[in-house]
Amino acid sequence: MTALPFPSKRAPIYRDVPDEKWNDWRWQLSNRLNSVEDFEKVLKLTDSEKKALTAQDLFRVDITPYFVSLVAPDDPYDPIRLQVIPTANEIVPFTGMMEDSLAEDRHSPVPGLVHRYPDRVLMLVTTQCASYCRYCTRSRIVGDPSATFSRAEFEMQINYLKKTPQVRDVLLSGGDPLTLAPKLLEELLARLREIPHIEILRIGSRVPVFMPMRVTEELTNVLQKFHPLWMNIHVNHPNEISAELAEACDKLGRAGVPLGNQSVLLAGVNDCVHLQRKLVQDLLRIRVRPYYLYQCDLVEGAGHFRTPVAKGIEIIEGLRGHTSGFAVPTFVVDAPGGGGKIPLAPNYLLSMSDHKVVMRNFEGFVTTYEEPLSYQPHNPETCSYCKSKRMEPGQAGLTALLDGEAMFIKPEGFDELHNREGGMHRLRSDQEKWKPLGIGPGKET
């Protein structure tokens, strides 16, 4: 790999740690920081941070020695510090706060499996992470060792997928799949790859950012067995891009794993168009394509991270045309209540009629495009692709849009499942039909 000008840092307290330990991901996990005493060996804590770190029932705190070494020790506004070290702001409630802001429980036909979109599912495989983001969407379950998934629940997930042929894309998340025991991760990937209709496997992980030494030859050898396999990492600020992260991404790329990046728009951390331009350009240098920029979700403890939606649109406006097109992520609001990801962008379309479209470019230049005088559209009656999407009534899984309606049909063989109240294990298998929120005219869950 060509040498890239990204820093490699190690806090003074760790300078005498032998390289073989420092570069061992298990050592990093075993030596995470989580108390006032731990952090005061590395940083000068503020009163607000001390108050939060000693508060009862606060979302779990754990930070790897590697990641805390990226923090400027005397800067209370350091952008990495703000993401992982709690402050008293987490204790302040805010309007709109929701426990399950994305209504994932409502779209879970079996424990840990979220089937919100027609052809893809989210498979939650662990509740553990290498470090914990203070704005975590799943803070209601993540970080709790007692809430981890059992083998029986994994079997329910696999059986559901086997009986739901519409699913072609499975995203492994959690928690962080790369914190799983290596043998368990390989077993899960192998079980999924055995299902004929599953085409794509994806992993969502912040482990390469929190703990890049986890990306070992052993891991890449496992991942490349299961192609096509994609991975999205999570970098919010240019300061998170280090020599170690660049090396980890290079290893993944050489193993054939395409990499994308998902960022969250965070007040005081990355709500700046110039910073965002630097971030996406640095990501491309380590062969990671910007994918999503998320509006911060309405989760408990994250009110102080929220920005106006207009700020995200402003950032996209400052990226489009000012850097490479494939460096521009899609800005999305993951709709509260389970409506899914809604893309938002600057308004480049000014007006349109049956013969002319009026548009502007990123510089404000206004132009027109003449519509065709005659247009012969494609005929769905003769299109083999359209015909193949017309499904037989009663087929298990999520149907296509039929007469303007989309619905879940209860998967065959899951009659014995029962509702479980509380947390992410709320099932709805007692209903003959599950209507996903916001799909089809006037439909509500």
Q: What is the pLDDT of residues 294-309, one digit of tens each?
A: 999 888 888 999 999 9
What's the mean pLDDT in 155-172? 95
Q: Would you state the pLDDT for residue 149?
A: 81
Active-site residue, selected from the candidate residues 10, 50, 62, 117: 117
**φ, ψ for residue 332 (rounded to 5)?**
-130, 150
Among residues 32, 78, 129, 160, the one annotated as catalytic is: 129
Q: Which percentage of the chain shows pLDDT scores above 90?
A: 67
Q: Please, are residues 134 and 59 in contact by the beta-carbon 8 Å criterion? A: yes
Check residues 257 and 143 and name the one with the higher pLDDT: 257
**Residue 43: pLDDT over 60:** yes
What is the model's pTM? Answer: 0.84
Does residue 296 carry a catalytic annotation?
Answer: no
Strand 397-398 and strand 366-370: pairing? unpaired
133 confidence band (pLDDT: 50, 70, 90): very high
Catalytic residue list contains 297: yes
Q: What is the pLDDT of residue 48?
A: 96
181: Cβ contacts below 8 Å, ≥ 6 apart:
none
pLDDT at 217: 96
Candidates 32, 81, 116, 206; catalytic one: 116
State the catalytic residue, choosing from 32, 81, 120, 251: 120
For residues 35 and 141, the model is more confident at: 35
pLDDT digits (tens, 9 = 90+) for 178-224: 999 999 999 999 999 999 999 999 999 999 999 999 999 999 999 99
Asked whether residue 63 carries a pLDDT value surpassing 50, the answer given is yes
pLDDT at residue 418 tops 60: no
Nearest to 180 by CA among 229, 138, 120, 223: 223
Banded pLDDT at 407 (limits 50, 70, 90): very low
The reply to whether 133 belongs to the active site is yes
Of 228-237, 292-301, 348-357, 426-435, least confident by mean pLDDT is 426-435
Clarify whether 383 is annotated catalytic.
Answer: no
Reported as a single tens digit per residue, the pLDDT across 72-121 is 999 999 999 999 999 999 888 766 555 555 556 667 888 889 998 889 99
Query: Rounded to whole angstroms, what are the CA distances from 366 to 234, 317, 349, 358, 361?
Result: 36, 16, 10, 7, 7
Is 348 known to be catalytic? Answer: no
* β-bridge partners, 202: 171, 230
Coil, strand or helix at 189:
helix
Catalytic hit among 66, 81, 135, 136: 136
Catalytic residue among 32, 134, 138, 140: 138
Pairing of strands 366-370, 356-360: antiparallel
When pLDDT is averaged across residues 283-293 and rounded to a whole number, the result is 98
Residue 3: per-residue pLDDT: 64
Determine what percent of the chain falls in helix, strand and coil, rounding each to the nearest 5: 30, 20, 50
Q: pLDDT at position 98, please?
A: 54
Angle between helices 309-319 and 273-285 (to 10 degrees): 60
pLDDT of 411 higher than 50: no
Query: Is it the case that residue 364 has pLDDT exceeding 50?
Result: yes
Average per-residue pLDDT in the chain? 85
Options 133, 134, 140, 249, the catalytic residue: 133
Q: Which band of pLDDT confidence, cut at 50, 70 and 90, is reported for residue 288?
A: very high
The reported pLDDT for the residue numbered 174 is 85
The pLDDT value recorded for residue 91 is 86
| Catalytic-residue membership of 386 | no
CA–CA dist 299, 96 (Å, integer): 9
Q: Residue 408 pLDDT more than 50? A: no
Q: Reduce the DSSP state of residue 92 to 3 states and report it.
A: coil
- Region 217-236: mean pLDDT is 97
Does position 147 have pLDDT exceeding 80, yes or no? Answer: no
> Which amino acid does the sequence have at 233?
I
pLDDT above 70: percentage of residues in the chain: 84
From the list 105, 176, 282, 334, the catalytic residue is: 334
106 is a catalytic site residue: no
- The answer, yes or no, to whether residue 137 has pLDDT greater than 90, is no
Tokens standing for residue 364 = 């404000």
Residue 167 has pLDDT above 70, yes or no: yes
pLDDT at site 400? 36
Quote the tokens at residue 150.
């059992």
Are 9 and 70 in contact, with CB atoms under 8 Å apart?
A: yes
Residue 418 in tokens: 């029962």
In sequence order, what E strands does 237-299 have?
Answer: 259-265, 289-295
Assess whether pLDDT exceeds 50 at residue 46.
yes
Handedness of CA 88, 94, 98, 101 (dihedral sign): negative
Q: Which of the residues 163, 191, 341, 443 is marked catalytic?
A: 341
pLDDT of residue 415: 40
Q: Which of 100, 297, 306, 410 is catalytic?
A: 297
Decide if 117 contacts 166 (C-beta within 8 A).
no
287 or 151: which carries more pLDDT confidence? 287
**Interatomic CA distance for residues 142 and 204, integer angstroms:** 14
How crowded is residue 249: how many other Cβ atoms within 10 Å of its Cβ? Answer: 27
Q: In this predicted structure, what is the pLDDT of residue 229?
A: 98
Active site residue 120: yes
Tens digit of each residue's pLDDT (9 = 90 or more) over 395-406: 334 333 333 333
Q: What is the largest CA-CA distance in the chain?
A: 75
Domains parsed from the chain with CATH numbers: 12-89 (no CATH), 105-346 (3.20.20.70), 347-376 (no CATH)
